[in-house]
Amino acid sequence: MSDVCMITPDEAAAKALKRFERDCRAWAAALFASSCGSAGERPQAYSIPLHPPTEKQAMADRNAARAWARTWHSSPLAGDVQWTSRNWGSIGQQTIPVRLTLESPSDIARAAGAGALWERMSERTLRLAERYSERWSKACPSTDPDALVAAVRAVAGRCCELEERDWEMLLLALDWLVDNQDATYFVRQLPIRGIDTKWMEGHQGLVKPLHRALTGRDPQFARQAGQFRVHVLDERLAPGDLTDLALSVEQLGRWPRLPDCVLICDNMVNVLALPPLPGVIAIHGGGFAVGELASVPWLSHVPLLYWGDLDSNGFAILNQLRSHHGHVTSLMMDAPTLDRYRDLCVEEPTPSKATCSHLTPSEQEALALVLAGDESCNLRTLRLEQERIEWAWACEQIKRRVEYTAPRNERPEE
What's residue 9's pLDDT? 95
What's residue 379's pLDDT? 93
Q: Is 282 in a helix, a strand, or coil? A: strand
- The yes-or-no verdict on residue 158 having pLDDT over 50 is yes
pTM: 0.61
What is the rounded CA–CA span in Å between residue 167 and residue 409? Answer: 65
Q: Is 355 in a helix, a strand, or coil? A: coil
Query: Which of 49, 27, 177, 166 is closest to 104 using CA atoms?
Result: 27
- The yes-or-no verdict on residue 256 having pLDDT over 50 is yes
β-pairing, 304-307 vs 261-265, is parallel
* CA count, 13 A, side-chain hemisphere, 191: 5
Residue 85: CB atoms within 10 Å: 8
Residues 304 and 262: beta-carbon distance below 8 Å: yes
User: What's the whole-number mean pLDDT along residues 235-245?
Assistant: 92
DSSP 102: E
What's residue 220's pLDDT? 84
Residues 169 and 162: beta-carbon distance below 8 Å: no
Residue 408: CB atoms within 10 Å: 15
Q: What is the pLDDT of residues 102-151, one digit of tens each?
A: 999 999 999 999 999 999 999 999 999 999 999 999 999 999 999 999 99
What's residue 66's pLDDT? 87
Q: Which amino acid is at 268?
A: M
Residue-averaged pLDDT of the chain: 90
Q: pLDDT band at residue 4, thresholds of 50, 70 and 90?
A: low
Q: What is the pLDDT of residues 259-304, one digit of tens each?
A: 999 999 999 999 999 999 999 999 998 898 898 899 899 999 999 9
The separation between the first and the last C-alpha atoms of the chain, rounded to the nearest angstrom, is 102
What is the rounded CA–CA span in Å between residue 30 and residue 33? Answer: 5
Kindly write down the DSSP assignment for every residue of 350-407, as one continuous string.
S------TT--HHHHHHHHHHHH-BGGGTBSS-BB-GGGS-HHHHHHHHHHHHHHH--
Tell me the torsion sign for CA atoms 287, 291, 296, 302.
Answer: positive
- The yes-or-no verdict on residue 2 having pLDDT over 60 is no
- The yes-or-no verdict on residue 237 having pLDDT over 90 is yes
- The yes-or-no verdict on residue 313 having pLDDT over 60 is yes
Give the sheet arrangement for strand 46-49, strand by strand: 46-49, 92-102, 81-88
What's residue 407's pLDDT? 56
Q: What is the pLDDT of residues 169-202, one digit of tens each?
A: 999 999 999 999 888 888 878 888 888 888 888 9
- The yes-or-no verdict on residue 64 having pLDDT over 50 is yes
- The yes-or-no verdict on residue 411 having pLDDT over 50 is no
Residues 285 and 263: beta-carbon distance below 8 Å: no
What is the rounded CA–CA span in Å between residue 86 and residue 83? Answer: 10
Query: Which of 68, 24, 49 is closest to 157 using CA atoms?
Result: 24
